[in-house]
Amino acid sequence: MREAKQDIAEFELNELETELAALGVQPFHARQLYRWVHNRGLEHFEGMTDLSQSLRVQLNQTFKFSTPQISARRISNDGTEKFLFTLADGKTIESVFIPDTPAMTFCISTQAGCAMRCRFCLTGQMGLTRHLTAGEIAGQVRVLVRELGLQNRRFNLVLMGMGEPLHNYDATMKSLRMIAAPEGLAITPRRVTLSTVGILPGLKRLASERWVPNLAVSLHATTDKVRHALIPTSRNQRLADLIDACREFPIKHRERITFEYVLLAGVNDTTADANRLATLLQDLRAKVNLIPLNEASGIPFSRPSNQQVNRFAQLVASSGLVVSVRKSRGRDIRAACGQLIIKDDCSTQPLNN
């Protein structure tokens, strides 16, 4: 029985060379092929004009494209654009393009849904549908770069969409190598930020990688009790161990680990919390990103007042830490942090709406 065709976009360059060699094709064609797929975002072999016609036919008989397809897009009043992607098996995910942060930024998903169940996050309420493949994670970037005409522009990439990247470790890291390849989009690690709740084994693995992205750790609490309540899957680990793992994480010269802290009124925004946060991070190369909650129906918390947010920020900053307050982007189209969720109001929007 003939084997099912494999998705050409699931191969790294060295894997593609091996695949071509097995077909009796000169491995140097892998670079041309990789460029068409990962840099130019082509989804058919016919257009690969620097490959011979017979090779294009052979490739078409052997491989397929399972590129995520944009099935809806919505633009916010502030220019943020949210994309609904449909995967080959019909599952859906969301990605966000933020045009001026100050560089352009793509926020992409690593899973359909998320198993972490953070109580302030709509994606967490969906639960995990499935992990994405490396080709699907990288595919969001390929397609967005092509659709927005950004092939020769610099942009940042944040793994902060749906999912916990370290819960889908191998596919996430493979996707980053694919995107970073010079024949692909050649994105350097300093332009990529991986955001995680801090799964300790994953964090330790990440620390030993050759290609290490910037790290953003979702802290959200200053005591184990509150953190375990907000992030139920963190119950088997202590804050102190997470901070130790961060202390050992390799940080490049002049860089810092970002600690994300969603501010929930009356839950984690007290003076005692601000002081504990400053103490927890005092000997780390850290910056704190405060995220006032994006309120939504179904989320059992409320956003602190602007006055309370400022007071909290000033208290933490007075300890010498670098502190920023995240400006909410794309709230009107539910593209802001913690608001990515597959619901009918996005999936029924026609393209370019």
223-to-57, 195, 219, 252, 261 alpha-carbon distances in Å:
60, 20, 10, 28, 13
Determine which one of 107, 114, 118, 337 is catalytic. Answer: 337
Q: Which is nearer to ligand SF4, 93 or 316 (CB)?
A: 93
For the beta carbon of residue 23, count every other beta carbon within 10 angstroms.
Answer: 13
Q: Which is nearer to ligand SF4, 16 or 263 (CB)?
A: 263
Minimum distance, C-beta of residue 114 to ligand SF4, in the bound complex (Å): 3
Residue facing ligand SF4 at closest CB distance: 124
Task: Return the beta strands (E) in 168-236 as ranges.
Answer: 192-196, 214-218
Minimum distance, C-beta of residue 342 to ligand SF4, in the bound complex (Å): 13
Q: Which is nearer to ligand SF4, 33 or 162 (CB)?
A: 162
Minimum distance, C-beta of residue 163 to ligand SF4, in the bound complex (Å): 6
Give the span between the Cα atoms of 41 and 38, in whole angstroms.
5
| 94 is annotated as an active-site residue | yes
Backbone angles phi, psi at 121, to 5 degrees: -125, 130
Q: Which is nearer to ligand SF4, 156 or 339 (CB)?
A: 339
Backbone angles phi, psi at 159, to 5 degrees: -90, 80
Alpha-carbon Rg for the chain in angstroms? 21
Minimum distance, C-beta of residue 128 to ligand SF4, in the bound complex (Å): 9
Minimum distance, C-beta of residue 116 to ligand SF4, in the bound complex (Å): 4
Determine which one of 94, 164, 183, 260 is catalytic. Answer: 94
Binding site for ligand SF4 (CB under 6 A): 114, 116-118, 121, 123-124, 162-164, 197, 338
Written as six digits, the tokens of 128 are: 């995990």
Give the span between the Cα atoms of 314 and 339, in whole angstroms.
27
SS3 per residue for 66-88: CCCEEEEEEECCCCCEEEEEECC
91-to-69, 159, 341 alpha-carbon distances in Å:
11, 19, 12
Token pair 């995910």 is found at 93
Give the span between the Cα atoms of 112 and 84, in whole angstroms.
11
Minimum distance, C-beta of residue 301 to ligand SF4, in the bound complex (Å): 13
Q: Which is nearer to ligand SF4, 182 or 232 (CB)?
A: 232
Decide: helix, strand or coil at residue 274.
helix
Q: Which is nearer to ligand SF4, 114 or 274 (CB)?
A: 114
271-to-110, 136, 185, 288, 310 alpha-carbon distances in Å:
35, 43, 45, 16, 12
Please give the positions annotated as active site.
94, 337
